[in-house]
A and B are shown apart, each in its own frame.
Chain A
Amino acid sequence: MSMPAMSGQHGRHRGGSRIVVVAISILCLIFLAAIVGPLFSPYTYLDSDLDARLIEPTRDAMRFFGTDDLGRDLFVRTLMGVRISLAVALVATFVSLVIGVVYGAIAGYVGGKVDAVMMRLVDTLYALPFIFFVILLMVYFGQNFLLIFVAIGAVNWLDMARIVRGQTLSLREREFVESARLIGVSPARIIFRHIMPNLLGVVVVYVTLTVPQAILIESFMSFLGLGIQEPQTSLGSLVNNGVRHMENAPWILLIPASLLALILMCFNFLGDGLRDQLDPQEQTE
């Protein structure tokens, strides 16, 4: 399905895929560092050394990112923060993936009035300031790890549902679906066995665009003090702590902030690049 888009056309595509490759490489590097980095440091994310507070980043004693106001090593803490932010984002993305794909495929396949009502609901939900509902949830039910995953996932499925529905609408009319229907395959089986596998390409693209959103929501809540709780950490809570000390110790803010920005940018460039290549209709030009 993506073949005509991949072949031909100007040098633009080569430029696009270069960005994709760069973005993937940077992301891989960061994730690798997050996984193995803490193993090489003599410090843990918990230990606080009150004699080593607010040390600037230096190679001495392996304080690559310095220490915070409690004398905790920021190299280890930042990498742990990346780990947690990523874990939350991946699980949340999975939740939104499941909801979005099932919802979109059903709406698109059934069509008619059901489709109209289901999509009207999505339109309505779209405009709501969802983050406030997530915060509401956190306030009432306490800061529960699992709940963060589910809440973020439950907020993020709308885009996915829309895209999947659009694809399903056109897949529904294709011959292989028609022949499946002719030989009496049940609608549920058609949706799961025949439609969904064909959605893979589009879904992969939108997953790469959903992950940064999930990272963003998680770090936003942790920044407000409503997400990950001390002594656990995430990029958002690190930035939050950095803000408090930015006047005399700017590195506490700048390192996790720029790492977060870099990760988000890479994901967005990656998703955008993939979308341009897989889906010529969606191209911005």
Chain B
Amino acid sequence: MLRGLSRDVDPVSAPFAWETGPDGRRELVGPRVTQCALSRICGACAESLGRPIAFVGDDLEVARNAFHAPPLHEACAEGLAAAEPSWRVVRTAAFEFVRPTKDDLDRRPTFQPSALIDG
């Protein structure tokens, strides 16, 4: 168990920032997403982030450069992406945590990588 969670954390099968919803699908937990963003911990293993920082998302998120899932270690991101074929991994040195505006229909915060690293 880590950071007061009542369950164990596993970067791939039980990542920190996600919980399994009633329909069996993984759902991001809002406060944990914010915690990862500001505490600078990995959304999968909940340990301090490294460099580079990685994000996972589908083609649309990659094209918009705006991700819903929190920052991750590179290895954790690759582990998560291996289990979700639609996800790609993007690497960056820095990111912006963007809170939603009143006009956003999607009221989730996003992460915008601001110093992308190739490869």
**B and A form one assembly:** no
B residues neighboring A (CB under 8 Å)? none
